[in-house]
C-alpha cells in the first residue's frame, strides 16, 4: 500500500466513530461474549525507586511510544507521524499467515504516565489505549503498558485487552477471521512480548534504542519479511525520536 493510499484511508477514518459503546463495557470484568487478554512479560529489573535514566523502564517506554514495537509480520500501523499520541487515529494492517491482509481503524483514547497503587504496592505506569472504529473486524479496547514496581525495581511489559468479533459483511473475511482469530492473536501477543524483552535488553546493552532496533528487530518476527521491508527502520526512527 503506497503513501497516497494510506493518506486516503486515514482521511476516511478521521470521523469514524468507535464501533461499540465504551460506557457499557467493564474492562476488568467484561460480560459474557467478550474475551479478556491480560498478559505480563518481565523486563530487566532496576534498583528500587523511580525509573532510572536510560534504564529498563525508560527504554521500554520509548519502544512503546509508537505501534511499531508490535510484530510487523502480523500487525503494523500507519498514522500521521506528526500527530500527538493522544487522539491519534491509526490504520492497522492485519496480516494473516503472510497470505491475506485487511485494513481496520483504531483511535488512541487514553495516554497515561502515573503511579498506581495495586495490592499494597506502588508502580509507575506508562501506557496508552486504543478503541476499535467502525469497519473493524473486532470491537473493544487494548492497553499497552510498561510498569515499574517502585519497592522492588521489577519492570514489566503488560497488555490488557477486551474484545469480541464485530459483524463482518464479507463472507470470506468473516470465515477466515473466525478460523484464524485465536491463533493469530496468540502468535501476535507472544511475538510482541519477545520483541519487547529482547529489544529492551539490547537497548540497555548498547545504550541506544534506535541502533538496537536496526540490528535486531529483523530477527524478532514470527514470520519472515522481505529484505526491503521498511518496518524495522521505521521503528528505529520512532525509537530515536522518543
Q: Report DSSP state, residue 47.
A: -
133 alpha carbon, distance to own chain's centre:
16
d(CA 155, CA 122): 12
71: helix, strand or coil: coil
pLDDT tier, 94 (very low <50, low <70, confident <90, very high otherwise): confident
* Residues found in the chain: 242
Average confidence (pLDDT) over 156-167: 93
pLDDT tier, 211 (very low <50, low <70, confident <90, very high otherwise): low
Query: Lowest mean pLDDT: which of 55-59, 63-67, 82-86, 216-220?
Result: 216-220
The overall pTM is greater than 0.75: yes
| pLDDT reading at 242 higher than 60 | no
Q: Could you tell me what percent of the chain has a pLDDT over 90?
A: 49
Structural domain count, the chain: 1
Assign residue 97 the CATH number of its domain: 3.30.530.20
φ, ψ for residue 185, nearest 5 deg: -65, -45
Domain that holds residue 73: 3-241
| pLDDT reading at 236 higher than 70 | no
Helix (H) or strand (E) holding 213: helix 209-216
Cβ atoms < 10 Å from Cβ of 1: 12
Q: Alpha helices, DSSP H only, in 26-97?
A: 56-64
Question: Which triple of cell numbers denotes residue 21?
Answer: 459503546
144: helix, strand or coil: strand
pLDDT digits (tens, 9 = 90+) for 24-69: 999 999 999 999 999 999 999 999 999 999 999 999 998 888 776 7
44: helix, strand or coil: coil
Q: Report DSSP state, residue 150.
A: T
Q: Where do we find the cell 459483511? A: 169
Amino acid at each position: 500500500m503506497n503513501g497516497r493510499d494510506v493518506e486516503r484511508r486515514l482521511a476516511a477514518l478521521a470521523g469514524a466513530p468507535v464501533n461499540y459503546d465504551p460506557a457499557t463495557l467493564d474492562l476488568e470484568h467484561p460480560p459474557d461474549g467478550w474475551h479478556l487478554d491480560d498478559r505480563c512479560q518481565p523486563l530487566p529489573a532496576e534498583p528500587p525507586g523511580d525509573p532510572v535514566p536510560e534504564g529498563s523502564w525508560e527504554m521500554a517506554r520509548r519502544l512503546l511510544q509508537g505501534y511499531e514495537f508490535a510484530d510487523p509480520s502480523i500487525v503494523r500501523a500507519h498514522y500521521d507521524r506528526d500527530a500527538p499520541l493522544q487522539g491519534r487515529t491509526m490504520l492497522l494492517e492485519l496480516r494473516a499467515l503472510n497470505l491475506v491482509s485487511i485494513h481496520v481503524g483504531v483511535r488512541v483514547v487514553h495516554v497515561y504516565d502515573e503511579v498506581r497503587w495495586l495490592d499494597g504496592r506502588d508502580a509507575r505506569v506508562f501506557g496508552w489505549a486504543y478503541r476499535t472504529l467502525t469497519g473493524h473486524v473486532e470491537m473493544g479496547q487494548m492497553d499497552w503498558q510498561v510498569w515499574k514496581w517502585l519497592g522492588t525495581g521489577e519492570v514489566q511489559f503488560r497488555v490488557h485487552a477486551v474484545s469480541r468479533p464485530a459483524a463482518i459483511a464479507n463472507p470470506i473475511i468473516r470465515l477466515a477471521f473466525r478460523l484464524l482469530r485465536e491463533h493469530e492473536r496468540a502468535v501476535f501477543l507472544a511475538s510482541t512480548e519477545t520483541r519487547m524483552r529482547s529489544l529492551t535488553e539490547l537497548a540497555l546493552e548498547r545504550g541506544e534504542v534506535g541502533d538496537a532496533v536496526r540490528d535486531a528487530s529483523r530477527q524478532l518476527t514470527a514470520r519472515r519479511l522481505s529484505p526491503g521491508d521498511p518496518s524495522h527502520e521505521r521503528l528505529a526512527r520512532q525509537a530515536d525520536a522518543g
